[in-house]
């Protein structure tokens, strides 16, 4: 009789070369239950991350250590399902938030914006650690920081509207990235020099996969800080900045 | 102006473009574009109206002006009036019934397909239920050849997709070996490179070519780099089998991809000239997907499914070996959930097949879409029934480079088993010779000492 159920796979030795789900055996010709449940669990974590919410109170309390007031805003996307289907609404502030920002117009260098994006869990877990590494770098060269903004149901481009309204020279948004099966807590950082509403990706620079097991806080801060210094010295950001930034390809 | 009166209420549709958009089954991308029907009734009113539109109107009313768009020019200039003649008297609704008729066979459809424009295909698909999209596609056969034969009735193939986040040669090779030992890779062994640098792409091409030659595998390779990179590598004598490019249905979208028809023509001729196919010379591999034109802000108010069908006009100009609609990759703002992804995949497969293309589907979703493995199982099974040429084969469904979920090597084995489908004939013989399957197609246990394990790694 042919052996049809395999408990192990002779390819297991190859697993050291890739994180891909190779050598997972088979039950008949199907994926064995154990592997199938592992996959399901990873997907469940990713789904939970997409539907997670910013821990606003906890974040505001933790952000106090940086001695910067915190402003709490909301995009025009009213709820998660709408956020997922209408990226245009996630790029704009709602009416109340626009009003709230009217009192902030003292010129500053950098506006730091924190948004849930596609994983609020990433922000809840990793943003304070990242800021602890990053803010001292800004202070070391006397960048004037605007009040920190926390925005719910936000997309990347909302940072440009916020920073422009606040009269900041540069916007830096720290936003939860789309969760993968292997990581659900990555932060992406996007910066725009002379931000204004309507700019698109070619005006921005991005540092992604920021999390302790990816690009760690210290490495990420170093990259972000380098990009921001370059942006200020060359008075631009985006494609043109990236092309000349040799340090990024180290 | 098109109109229809329902219970005293007059529905007006300014032009064919708007009528098509309003008649489209609901999906988030058309809502995002602000062009979809505003009520259930309006959608059906549009479908009833569309059913009465003569096919001839599509030849006289371009949905994107001829002067503005080279895809429109391609569609109009290559339309074959002789092929169109047998259906020239039909309305869109008549055409639907004509396609469903038992008298309309694969052969009948092949005779008229040069007379069908993408907009006609899109229009008739909007009137159909899912089962109609399946039943008609099932009648079509689109056979293509390079080192093996893809698309024969009763056969079902896979693209082995061994992606790795850093293009590590050993990492890629490990996934290739895993896939081959699970019977995957007859459509192509195709890698999405992590970078588009010509040197990195050349290394990957060489890697696949070495394995293919060493084990004498009757399949073809592809590294899915930008077409300009592939052209450069052809000139540098890299082992290019299939030439890849993402394409779309408007000139402006293609321009955002950095391509136009002239560049595609050049790459097609260059790849043909390599003459590397052994049983045939279909050399192009195209990928498409609903929503790309909206994403590039280049849709001109045309609904996303019609834009997609227009991409097939581009594809068929080059007699491609494979066309792959990457249906659920783009995200929930275009196709929100399993229902929308399944509908879109069946539409794309149907329209492509009706236009004569060797359609495959990347049965896939991202983590922010309302979909899961069950939805993919449903879609995969439906596509198997519909006679889809190929799907992807990815270790455990999890693409660790592109971060999305597609079909696994095991999924393809499931489909072959439940529907009695077989790999491409040349590849099937190879699997038997290698002791990977028996002559009934049953997967065999792989011995520890199998050559692919011992000698396959670079």
Q: Which residues of B touch A21 (CB under 8 A)?
A: 395-398, 408
B236 in A contact zone (CB under 8 Å): no
B137 found inside a domain: no
pLDDT in tens, B384-433: 999 999 999 999 999 999 999 999 999 999 999 999 999 999 999 999 99
pLDDT, greater one: A199 or A111:
A111
* Residue B454: pLDDT band with limits 50, 70, 90: confident
Q: How high is the pLDDT of residue B449?
A: 81
**How far are the Cα atoms of A44, A48, A49, A221, A222 from residue A126, in angstroms, in the given order?**
20, 17, 13, 13, 16
* Helices (H), ranges, chain A: 33-50, 56-63, 80-85, 87-90, 95-101, 120-140, 158-165, 217-234, 239-243
Query: Is the pLDDT reported for residue A249 higher than 70?
Result: no
User: Closest Cα of chain A to B268: distance in Å?
Assistant: 30
Helix axes A33-50, B373-386, angle to 10 degrees: 110
Query: Is the pLDDT reported for residue A4 higher than 50?
Result: no
pLDDT in tens, A52-96: 999 999 999 999 999 999 999 999 999 999 999 999 999 999 999
Q: What is the mean pLDDT of residues B133-151?
A: 98
* Residue B446: pLDDT band with limits 50, 70, 90: confident
B377 found inside a domain: yes
**Chain B residue closest to A10 (CA)?**
B448
Spell out the domains of chain A, with CATH numbers in brackets: 56-249 (3.40.50.11240)
Q: Which residues of B touch A201 (CB under 8 A)?
A: none
**Cα distance between residue B265 and residue B40, in whole Å:** 43
Q: Taking a C-beta distance cutoff of 8 angstroms, is the pair B172, B192 a contact? A: no
Chain A contact residues (CB < 8 Å to B): 2-3, 6, 10-11, 13-15, 17-24, 26, 28-31, 35, 39-40, 42-43, 46-47, 49-50, 84-88, 118, 178-182
Q: How high is the pLDDT of residue B388?
A: 98
pLDDT in tens, A137-160: 999 999 999 999 999 999 999 999
pLDDT in tens, B49-85: 999 999 999 999 999 999 999 999 999 999 999 999 9
3-state SS assignment for residue A205: strand
Query: Is the pLDDT reported for residue B447 higher than 80?
Result: no
Query: Is the pLDDT reported for residue B292 higher than 60?
Result: yes
Query: Is the pLDDT reported for residue A244 higher than 70?
Result: no
Q: Which residues of A touch B31 (CB under 8 A)?
A: 85
B445 in A contact zone (CB under 8 Å): yes
Q: How high is the pLDDT of residue B176?
A: 98
Tell me how many domains chain B contains: 1
B46 found inside a domain: no
**Chain B residue closest to A85 (CA)?**
B333
Query: Is the pLDDT reported for residue B321 higher than 70?
Result: yes
Contact B445 A30 (CB under 8 A): no
Kindly write down the DSSP assignment for every residue of A30-83, as one continuous string: BPPHHHHHHHHHHHHHHHHHHT----HHHHHHHHGGGT--EEEEEBS--SHHHH
* Residue A2: pLDDT band with limits 50, 70, 90: very low
Q: Which of B392, B396, B422 to mutate to test the interface with A (most CBs of A within 10 A)?
A: B396
pLDDT in tens, B163-176: 999 999 999 999 99
Show the domain range for B322.
144-452
* Residue A201: pLDDT band with limits 50, 70, 90: confident
Contact B444 A2 (CB under 8 A): yes
Contact B178 A10 (CB under 8 A): no
Q: Taking a C-beta distance cutoff of 8 angstroms, is the pair B172, B204 a contact? A: yes
Burial A102-126 (b: 16+ CB within 10 A, else e): eebeeebbbbbbbbbbbbbbbbbbb
Q: What is the mean pLDDT of residues B180-199?
A: 95
Contact B366 A178 (CB under 8 A): yes
Contact A86 B333 (CB under 8 A): yes
Q: Residue B421 maps to which CATH number? A: 3.20.20.70
Cβ-based neighbour number of residue A225 at 10 Å: 18
Name the nearest CA neighbour of B282 among B117, B149, B114, B139.
Answer: B149
Burial of B195 per CB tally in 10 Å (0-12, 13-18, 19+) = exposed
B387 found inside a domain: yes
Query: Is the pLDDT reported for residue A248 higher than 60?
Result: no
B45 found inside a domain: no
pLDDT in tens, A17-39: 999 999 999 999 999 999 999 99
Q: What is the mean pLDDT of residues B284-289?
A: 98
Portion of chain B with pLDDT greater than 70, in percent: 100
B284 found inside a domain: yes
B53 found inside a domain: no
B194 found inside a domain: yes
Contact A87 B333 (CB under 8 A): yes
Name the nearest CA neighbour of A120 among A150, A82, A149.
Answer: A150
Contact B453 A10 (CB under 8 A): yes
């Amino acid at each position: 009789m042919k052996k049809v159920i395999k408990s192990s796979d002779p390819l297991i030795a190859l697993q050291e070369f890739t994180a891909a789900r190779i050598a997972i055996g088979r039950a008949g010709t199907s994926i064995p239950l154990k592997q199938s449940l592992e996959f399901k669990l990873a997907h469940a974590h990713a789904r939970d991350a997409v539907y997670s919410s910013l821990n606003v109170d906890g974040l505001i309390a933790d952000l106090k250590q940086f001695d910067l007031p915190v402003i709490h805003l909301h995009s025009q996307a009213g709820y998660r399902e709408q956020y997922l289907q209408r990226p245009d609404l996630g790029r704009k502030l709602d009416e109340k938030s626009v009003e709230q920002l009217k009192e902030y117009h003292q010129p500053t260098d950098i506006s730091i914006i924190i948004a849930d994006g596609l994983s609020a869990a990433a922000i809840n877990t990793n943003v304070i650690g990242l800021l602890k590494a990053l803010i001292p770098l800004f202070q070391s060269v006397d960048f004037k920081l605007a009040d920190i903004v926390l925005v719910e149901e936000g997309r990347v481009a909302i940072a440009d509207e916020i920073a422009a309204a606040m009269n900041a020279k540069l916007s830096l948004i720290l936003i939860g990235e789309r969760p993968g099966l292997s990581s659900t807590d990555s932060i992406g950082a996007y910066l725009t020099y002379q931000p204004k509403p309507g700019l698109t990706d070619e005006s921005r620079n991005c540092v992604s996969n920021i999390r302790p097991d990816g690009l760690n806080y210290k490495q990420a801060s170093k990259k972000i800080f380098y990009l921001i210094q370059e942006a200020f010295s060359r008075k631009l950001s985006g494609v043109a900045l990236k092309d000349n930034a040799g340090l990024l390809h180290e | 102006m098109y109109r229809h009166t329902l219970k005293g209420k007059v529905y007006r549709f300014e032009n064919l473009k708007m009528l098509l958009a309003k008649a489209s089954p609901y999906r988030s991308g058309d809502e995002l574009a602000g062009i979809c029907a505003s009520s259930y009734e309006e959608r059906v009113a549009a479908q009833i109206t569309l059913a009465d539109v003569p096919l001839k109107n599509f030849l006289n009313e371009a949905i994107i002006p001829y002067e503005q768009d080279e895809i429109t020019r391609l569609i109009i200039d290559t339309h074959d009036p002789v092929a169109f003649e047998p259906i020239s008297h039909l309305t869109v609704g008549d055409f639907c019934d004509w396609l469903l008729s038992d008298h309309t066979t694969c052969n009948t459809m092949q005779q008229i397909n040069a007379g069908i424009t993408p907009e006609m295909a899109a229009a008739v698909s909007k009137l159909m239920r899912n089962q109609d999209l399946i039943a008609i596609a099932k009648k079509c056969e689109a056979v293509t050849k390079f080192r093996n034969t893809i698309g024969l009735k009763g056969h079902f193939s896979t693209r082995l997709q061994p992606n790795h986040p850093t293009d590590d040669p050993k990492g890629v090779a490990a996934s290739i070996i895993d896939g081959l030992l699970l019977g995957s890779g007859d459509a192509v062994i195709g890698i999405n490179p992590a970078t588009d640098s010509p040197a990195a792409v050349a290394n990957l091409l060489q890697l696949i070519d070495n394995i293919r030659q060493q084990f004498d595998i009757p399949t073809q390779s592809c590294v899915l780099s930008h077409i300009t990179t592939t052209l450069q590598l052809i000139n540098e004598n890299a082992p290019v089998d299939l030439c890849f490019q993402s394409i779309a249905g408007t000139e402006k979208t293609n321009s955002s991809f950095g391509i136009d028809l002239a560049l595609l023509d050049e790459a097609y001729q260059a790849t043909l000239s390599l003459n590397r196919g052994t049983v045939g010379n279909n050399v192009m591999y195209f990928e498409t997907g609903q929503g790309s034109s909206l994403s590039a802000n280049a849709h001109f108010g045309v609904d996303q499914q019609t834009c997609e069908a227009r991409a097939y006009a581009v594809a068929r100009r080059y007699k491609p070996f494979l066309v792959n609609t990457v249906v659920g990759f783009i995200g929930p703002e275009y196709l929100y959930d399993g229902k929308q992804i399944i509908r879109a995949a069946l539409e794309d497969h149907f329209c492509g097949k009706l236009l004569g293309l060797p359609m495959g589907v990347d049965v896939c979703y991202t983590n922010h879409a309302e979909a899961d493995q069950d939805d993919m199982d449903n879609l995969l099974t439906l596509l198997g029934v519909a006679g889809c040429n190929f799907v992807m084969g990815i270790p455990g469904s999890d693409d660790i480079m592109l971060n999305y979920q597609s079909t696994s090597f095991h999924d393809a084995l499931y489909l072959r088993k439940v529907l009695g489908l077989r790999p491409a004939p040349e590849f099937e013989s190879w699997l038997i010779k290698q002791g990977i399957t028996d002559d009934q197609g049953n997967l065999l246990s792989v011995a520890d000492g199998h050559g692919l394990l011992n000698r396959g790694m670079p």
